[in-house]
Structure 1
Amino acid sequence: MTNNATRIDPATLASSFAIGQDPASVRARVEALERILERAFMVPGINRPIGLDAIVGLIPVIGDLIGALMGSWLVWEARNLGMSKFQLARMMGNVGFDAALGLVPFVGDAADFMFRSNTRNLRIIKRHLDKHHPSTVTLAG
């Protein structure tokens, strides 16, 4: 049984990082980044997806800082969309909490499986886009 959500087509990925600043391009970019950071690979045996955030997080201290920087890019995209300061603060709180958890040996690595800050932040961005830019809504099938 294959899981289509974990396969990343390179052509689709390249087109997802389009340079455009329109809401549809931003939606495509943040969805692609979240997929890479949280669900890029499937762990054999437990069928649990992991991403670059969890893999890089295995490197003590530096990995967590790199993960926080990658997650901060989602917040930057949200800022460029004109999201409220409350939403941005909430998103930075998610990234900060994930980074702080990651600094605790072993606990932080296990927490990357449970607390997916980038997925939470994508949900916040999608809610904003669905409300303020309804033409960008895509139907998942």
Structure 2
Amino acid sequence: MIHVTPSIVLDEAEISESFVRASGPGGQNVNKVSTAVELRFDAARSPALSEAVFHRLAALAGRRMTQDGVVVIEAQRFRSREQNRADALERLVALIRQAAVAQKPRRPTRPTLSSKVRRLEGKTRRATVKKLRGAARLED
């Protein structure tokens, strides 16, 4: 069991891992050993996530979520398989934690009188500067 938040607990069976060859530095080792991790979590069918959390997760995950609702996280930062595994799991948990927090709805507010006055004074000052830029007129 993976504890994400007090209310969200993921079953380890919901997460599948596959190991692939990593790109980048590593010498001959990188060509022989599959150390990169591709972690898959089926968020659409997970009983641990509510509908609201799933929709926020989909928005946060972006291209990391497939059309079927599967979150795919690739980790190849480290040279060892265990570190990449832990990194991928940590990133998934952080993503779900972030999705679990609902944003507070914005309450519309009105501008204060002083802010209105400041804005209008700035507009007047700017208009005066622009008016003075005009071509000099000949007085008759």
With CA pairs under 8 Å and 6+ residues apart, which has the higher RCO, 1 or 2? 1
* Greater helix share, structure number: 1
Determine which structure has the larger strand proportion and give its number. 2
TM-score of Structure 1 vs Structure 2, range by shorter chain:
0.3 to 0.5
Bigger radius of gyration, 1 or 2?
Answer: 2
**Structure 2 length-normalised TM:** 0.33
